Structures are given as C-alpha cells and as structure tokens.
Amino acid sequence: MTHSPLSLARRDGFHGRSGPLLLVIADGVGIAPPGPSNAVTEADTPTLDALLASPLSTSLLAHGPAVGLPSDDDMGNSEVGHNALGAGRVFAQGAKLVNHALASGALYRNPVWQEAVAHGRAHTMHFLGLHSDGNVHSHIDHLHQMLERAAEEGVVRARVHVLLDGRDVPARSALDYLAQTEQVLQKINEHGADRGVDFRIASGGGRMTITMDRYGADWAMVQRGYECHTHGVGRPFRSAAEAVETMYAESDTGDQYLASFVVVDDAGVPVGTMHDGDAVVLYNFRGDRAIEISQAYEDPTFDRFDRDAVAPHPDVSFCGMLQYDGDALVPKRYLVDPPTIERTVSEYLCAEGVSTFAISETQKYGHVTYFWNGNKSGYIDPSLETYVEIPSDNVAFDTTPAMKVREITAATIEMLRSGRYRFGRLNFPSGDMVGHTGHLHATIDAMTVIDECMARLIEVIDELGGVLVYTADHGNADIMFTETADGVRMPKTSHTLSPVPFAIHDAAWHGEYHLAAPDGAGLANVAATLLDLLGFVPPSDYEPSVIAFDA
C-alpha cells in the first residue's frame, strides 16, 4: 500500500493497548550517581524506583549532538529536548546554527545585519542578551564576534546590555564574563581611537529579575528590563563590575537574581539609553525567553505595559539572533534562520485522526506545545487536540516545590478518564524549575511530589488498560552542588550533562516486545517508540524506536 508523507502504516500483530498512551516528561530529572548532591536519589521515590528497575527501562542521551547541539560539552535544555522528543529526528539547534552563520560569514551578509550596522553608523548600535558561555540561551563569543565586526564595518558607538546568568553557569560567575567583555571593548576602543570609537557596557541585571520572562508569566519583569535598557532606569554605578561587586557584598544572591543597574557617567547620566534611529540586536538564540522583550521593542500594537511611562518609546531598528516564533513572526527581522522542523509526531497523529492532549503549567506549557510541535504555535488540528495550561504561581519555586504538579496530575486524570483521548503528554516542571534555585531540600521535596503523582497516574492508566511512558528532557535535579578541594559546597543551578531515564509501564505486557535501544539512543528515539506503542509503523527517517517486536 502506498502512503502519503503524512500517513502511517498499521503495525502487524500489535495495534496498541485498548486504553490511552500517556507520556510523562519529568523536566530536569537526569540520571547521576547517588550521593548527597543528587536530589533525585536522595528523595523517597518508590514509584520511580520501581519503574527504573523494570525490564522496560533504559537511559537516553539528552545533551550535545544527541539533541542537535555542537559538542558533548553542551548541556541540553528544555527547548531542544522537546524539539527532539516531538520531531523524532535531530535538527541542528540554535548554537550550532549561529556558530556556522558566524564562521561562514552568512550572518554578516544578511540584509538585516547590514541594516542594523547602517543604523549603528548613523546613531548607536545596542547589543542585548544573556551574558555567559552557558550556550543554552546565548554565548558570549557570539557577542564578542559581532562587536568586533560592527567596529570593522564602521560603527563608532555601541552599547552592551548584559543579562547576568548564574543559572546555566556557576551562580556567581558574572565578574569573569564582564572582565572578558571589557577586554574586548577596550581593544576595540583603542584600535578605533582615531575615529572616536566608543563601545561600552550600559545596563544589566539578573536574568530572573529583568527582561527574560517567558510564556507571559511576569510581564512586570519584562517592563523592568525594557525601562532599564531603553531609558536607563535602574540603580546607578560607574561600571557593571562595580554594580555586581556591590550587590554581592550586600547579600548572598546569585547572579540570576541581581537587581537591574545602569552605568552612568561622571555627571550621573546613563551612558546607553536608546533613541530614535538606533539599532538593537538581541543576541540570544533560544526563543522562549526572547519573545516577550522582542514584542516590547517591535510590536506597534504592544499593550502589555506602557512603554511611554518613563519616556517616549524610541523608533529603533530591532532584530533577533533567530526568529523565536515562526507562526507569530517574532521578531520580524532576524540574523540566522531557525531549524525547519516538519513532520513532527503530532502532525502524523493528526493525519491519522488520533485524538491527543498536552498539559503543563505556564512555565513549561510552551514546551509540550510550541517546542514539541517543531517551534510552531497553535493547534495542528483543533478538532483532535486539546492543550491545557495551568497558570504558574509568580513565586520563588524553592518556596513551593510542588509547583502545580498535583494540579497537572488531577487534570490529566480527568482527561484520561473522559475516554476522548488516545495519546496524552504532560510536563512536570518542578525538577527543573526548583532545581534551578540551587536549593537541595526543596528539590528533594519536588521529587517526592512527582513520585506521589506518578503513582496516581499509573493507577489510572492500569484502570483504563493503557500504557505510561516516563522520561525527562535533560538533567538538573540530579546534581545540586559541587564541592571545592577544601570541601565547600557550591550550589549548582545549571543543567547537567547527565542522561535521562526512559521507562515503559504496561500492565498488559507479556513479552510481545522488548527493549532494544540502539547505541547512542537519545530523546529523538522517543517519537518512534510512541508510534510503536500506538500500533503504527514509524516513518523510515525517524530515529529508531527503543523497543522491538518479537516475531
């Protein structure tokens, strides 16, 4: 039989179970050696322990080339992880795409770059982004290369607006990155002294305090960043290093939570406010935390906050490193084309008339929808799909380690019991979001709640004659601190390079298929496995399933 590109053959001899298939993604729950820094193994998790001890359990790679990132030194993240889970194949991702565009010079040949430089020559060129080498949202090397190129192309005045990391890199590492950038700026200024070249850091603040909100969870955070970078609203300092050193001395707060600041001149005037005709380049390559600030700069109908509250909104030429939302066209101008991901597993399921749901709370809702669907907003087929967003609380997640895991579970159970859905997927965000706080005991509590809810889900899946698949998108909670040579514990707030668990719970299983994970199996192998469990033959170009059927 000939099948169209978006049709699937039925599997001979296995048509799936009578009940629904549920995929549980425990965000940030990796596999690392047991020990006091591992919140996953320190927690009391009898349900997860039983799952991982079953004969239908293995581990999957969730970092580096396995998810489209440049090297094995690159941590995975929720965005590329969900891309791989939903696409069934590995696509070159943000950092890799940008690296190639810079190395080949394609970025500089892009008319959008040329337009930004033209504005920069006549006015000021601003660079805004996460200031580290974490390689999850951005890379400081990309900033440095663009600064040097802008100077070579005749830009005389540039300003850098730094978002301090402390999340994908050590918690208090901002001064090291600031020193690197100041060295680059000094070299540019010295080389162009005869032309009056003036490149400086102008503003900044912690990534969880200003600018980098996502999914509309905290627009006030975006407003603080917008007003800081655009109009110079923030605590004044003579340099970014002085700002960080002062705030370090005042508390033990990590970089990601530091307050907004602006760099001022001898008269106390901010050195880098934005004005009509300026260019603004947002150099983050990851989309989720770049969309809202992009909208604030370029959307003529923007109404999430009053952009004119401090001073009139300037008419700037704005561009992003990539287009962060291909459906909503945000931003309209960008420097590097994002990966084109087509024929996701959800597209195939919709083509086959399979009813599905996706659910999480706000913090990860976009991951089981937008990123899962190949960086596309909205429904593929609203007649077959239901997306449920449970609003996240705007709180420090170490104070509420359960987050909305119990609410996600209750809503999932209601949808499973409705009988309307053949496949569902959910994301439990707490392993990642609480893990990012660096608070070990809160993350242990988060894992305990996940285990409690997994037990409830398994009970309902068994009641309905279905199958549950458990996995994660990357590590985080599995390594909560490192130790110095003299035994001092340093909180680890970043993702890890750990593999992630993969387990199938199928109460009706009696050996008709077995685990057969290929060498180097990663998150992209999950999609074919889900299709196998639903009774379909996966597309031939999908990464192979981790199960095989006995003859």
Mean pLDDT (the chain) is 95
Place of tokens 């291909």: 326
Identify the pLDDT of residue 73. Answer: 84
* Per-residue pLDDT band at 327 (split at 50, 70, 90): low
Q: Which two tokens stand for residue 466?
A: 């279905």
> Could you tell me how far CA 543 lies from the centroid of its own chain?
22
Lowest mean pLDDT among 72-86, 158-172, 306-320, 429-443: 72-86
Tell me the average pLDDT across 433-455: 97
Q: Say if residue 262's pLDDT is above 50.
A: yes
Compute φ and ψ for 458, nearest 5 degrees: -65, -40
Q: Say if residue 419's pLDDT is above 80.
A: yes
Cβ atoms 204, 161 nearer than 8 A: yes
The three-class DSSP label of residue 226 is helix
Residue ranges and CATH numbers for the domains of the chain are 21-92+340-549 (3.40.720.10), 95-336 (3.40.1450.10)
> Could you tell me how far CA 499 lies from the centroid of its own chain?
17
Say which residue, 238 or 4, is predicted with more confidence: 238
DSSP at 66: G
Tell me the average pLDDT across 477-498: 91
Identify the pLDDT of residue 364. Answer: 95
DSSP at 504: E
Identify the pLDDT of residue 550. Answer: 84
Identify the pLDDT of residue 521. Answer: 98
Identify the pLDDT of residue 236. Answer: 98
Say which residue, 215 or 27, is predicted with more confidence: 27
Tell me the average pLDDT across 20-28: 98
Instruction: Convert the pLDDT of each residue in 52-90 to its tens digit.
Output: 999 999 999 999 999 998 888 888 989 899 999 999 999
Residues with catalytic function: 78
Identify the pLDDT of residue 138. Answer: 96
Place of tokens 């989720």: 288
Radius of gyration of the chain (CA): 24
Identify the pLDDT of residue 551. Answer: 67
What single string gives the DSSP state of each residue in 413-476? HHHHHHT--SEEEEEE-HHHHTGGGT-HHHHHHHHHHHHHHHHHHHHHHHHHT-EEEEE-SSBS
Identify the pLDDT of residue 513. Answer: 96
* C-alpha dist (Å) from residue 203 to 52, 262, 275, 383: 47, 4, 15, 47
Identify the pLDDT of residue 148. Answer: 98
Instruction: Convert the pLDDT of each residue in 40-51 to its tens digit.
Output: 999 999 999 999
The residues pairing with 423 across neighbouring beta strands, listed in sequence order, are: 21, 356
Q: Say if residue 3's pLDDT is above 60.
A: no
Place of tokens 């992003």: 320
- The percentage of the chain sitting over the pLDDT mark of 70, rounded to a whole number, equals 99
Alpha helices in 240-385 (DSSP H): 240-250, 291-298, 345-351, 362-366
Identify the pLDDT of residue 377. Answer: 87
Q: Say if residue 338's pLDDT is above 80.
A: no
Identify the pLDDT of residue 487. Answer: 87
Q: Say if residue 171's pLDDT is above 50.
A: yes
* Per-residue pLDDT band at 4 (split at 50, 70, 90): very low
* Per-residue pLDDT band at 324 (split at 50, 70, 90): confident
Query: For the stretch 84-93, what's the b/e string if a residue is b when 16 or more beta carbons lie within 10 angstroms of its beta carbon?
Result: bbbbbbbbeb
Tell me the average pLDDT across 270-296: 96
Instruction: Convert the pLDDT of each residue in 87-100 to its tens digit.
Output: 999 999 888 899 99
Tell me the average pLDDT across 162-182: 97
Q: Say if residue 221's pLDDT is above 50.
A: yes
Say which residue, 337 or 427, is predicted with more confidence: 427
Identify the pLDDT of residue 325. Answer: 76
The three-class DSSP label of residue 316 is coil
Q: Say if residue 500's pLDDT is above 50.
A: yes
* Per-residue pLDDT band at 328 (split at 50, 70, 90): confident
User: Which residue, 478, 364, 513, is CA-closest to 48?
Assistant: 478
* C-alpha dist (Å) from residue 483 to 56, 252, 264, 325: 35, 18, 38, 40
- The percentage of the chain sitting over the pLDDT mark of 90, rounded to a whole number, equals 89
Positive or negative torsion for Cα 53, 58, 61, 67: negative
Give the pTM. Answer: 0.79
Q: State the Cα–Cα distance between residues 259 and 243, nearest whole angstrom.
A: 9
Instruction: Convert the pLDDT of each residue in 524-536 to its tens digit.
Output: 999 999 999 999 9
Identify the pLDDT of residue 404. Answer: 98
Identify the pLDDT of residue 326. Answer: 66
Q: Say if residue 16's pLDDT is above 70.
A: yes
Tell me the average pLDDT across 389-399: 94
Instruction: Convert the pLDDT of each residue in 451-479 to its tens digit.
Output: 999 999 999 999 999 999 999 999 999 99
Positive or negative torsion for Cα 188, 190, 196, 200: positive
